[in-house]
Amino acid sequence: MPAQLIDGKAVAALVRAEVSERVRRLVARGRAPGLTVVLAGDDPASATYVRNKEKAARECGIRGETLRFPADVDAATLEAALDRLNADPEVDGILVQLPLPPGISAEDARRLQRRIAPEKDVDGFLPQSQGLLMLGEPGFVPCTPAGCMRLLAHAGISPRGRHAVVIGRSNIVGKPMAQLLLAADATVTICHSRTPDLPAVVRGADIVVAAVGRPELVRGDWLKPGAVVLDVGINRTPEGKLVGDVCFSEACEVAAAVTPVPGGVGPMTIACLLENVCVAAERRLGIA
C-alpha cells in the first residue's frame, strides 16, 4: 500500500492560523508581536528566505522588520545593532540570517549569534535555548525540529516506545531533533557521516528523520516496511529539481507515512518560527 503523504503545507497553514489567533489576542492586550531579522550581505538565497519570513510574519499580523547591512559591514556595527534590538521593548524576536558575509570571521559570527538576548532567541540556537531543550525545560525549540514533531503529532504518530533514527548531527536540526524525540519517549539513534553501515541502522528504525543535505541518499530498501519518514533535506539536482535526502518514490512503496520535498518539513520551519515569536511576546506579558 502506498505511504500516507504527510502534507506540510496543510499543517503549516493550521499552525499559522493558530498564530494569527494568538496575535489577535496579543493585539487586544496592547500590541502585535515584533520579529526583526538582521541580514548582512547580498546572498540571494538569504534574501529570499528573509523575504519569505517577512511576508509570512505580516500575513499573521506579526510586525516583521529586516535590518539590512552591506556585505562589507563590520562585526562591531552588527553587534551594536543587536544590542539596540535586545533593548527595544517593541522587538520580541531577533534572528541573524546566516551565512554572514565572508568578511566576518567564524569566531565573530558565533559571537554575534550569541549576542541575541536569550528571551528573544526565536531561532532557538543560543546555548541557553539548546541547554533548556536538553534538560527538558521550557525554552525556544529550533524551528525545523519543532516542525517535524508537529507533523508527527498531526499525522497521529506517537514516538513513544518507537526506535527513531536521526541522520545528521547538526546543532540546528539533527541534535535538537534527537532531543525532542527522546523527550517524547522514543529510543533514539543519531547517525552521521562517520556511521558505519548506515543502511543497516536505518533498517531498524520505526521513525527516520533525514537531515543530511545529500540528494536521495536514503533508498527504499533501507527502510523497514511501515516506517515513518521525515525528510528535512533540501537539495537541488543538476537539472534544477528540488529533492530531499530520501528517494521519495522508493520510500512511498515501503513506508507507512512520508513527507514530500517540497511541501513537507520546509513549510513548517517558518510556521514554527512565527509560533516562537508569539511565545516570546506572551512570555514578556507573563501569559505563557
- Catalytic amino acids? 53, 97, 123
Locate 12 and state its grid cell: 503549516
Query: Strand order of the sheet with strand 93-96?
Result: 63-69, 34-40, 93-96
**Which of residues 193, 200, 221, 287 is near ligand NAD by CB under 6 A?**
193
Cα within 13 Å of Cα(239), Cβ side = 4
164 binds ligand NAD (CB under 6 A): no
- Give the range of 91-99, 105-113, 166-174, 277-285 binding ligand NAD by CB under 6 A: 166-174
Distance CA 33, CA 100 (A): 26
Report d(CA 98, CA 111) in Å as an integer.
13
Which span (16-24, 98-106, 167-175, 273-281) binds ligand NAD, by CB under 6 A?
167-175
Long-range pairs for 42-50: beta carbons < 8 A, 24 or more residues apart: 42/71, 43/99, 43/101, 46/97, 46/98, 46/99, 49/97, 50/97
Total interface residues for ligand NAD by CB under 6 A = 25
In the region spanning residues 225 to 284, those forming contacts with ligand NAD, defined by CB under 6 A, are 232-235, 265-266, 269
| Residue number of the CB atom closest to ligand NAD | 170
Least Å from the CB of residue 211 to ligand NAD = 4
Cis peptide before 260 (omega within 30 of 0): no
Is 142 among the residues that bind ligand NAD (CB under 6 A)?
no
Out of 172, 208, 223, 257, name the contact with ligand NAD by CB under 6 A.
Answer: 172
> Cis omega before residue 44 (within 30°)?
no
Contact yes or no for 120/280 (Cβ under 8 A): yes
Least separation in angstroms between residue 70's CB and ligand NAD is 26
> For strand 257-258 and strand 4-5, is the pairing parallel, antiparallel, or unpaired?
parallel
CB closer to ligand NAD, 154 vs 214: 214
Read off the C-alpha cell for 195: 556511521
Report the nearest approach of ligand NAD to the CB of residue 202 (Å): 10
Report 199-228 residues binding ligand NAD (CB under 6 A): 211-214, 217
- Taking the least distance from each CB to ligand NAD, the nearer of 163 and 169 is 169
Binding site for ligand NAD (CB under 6 A): 144, 167-170, 172-174, 191-193, 195, 198, 211-214, 217, 232-235, 265-266, 269
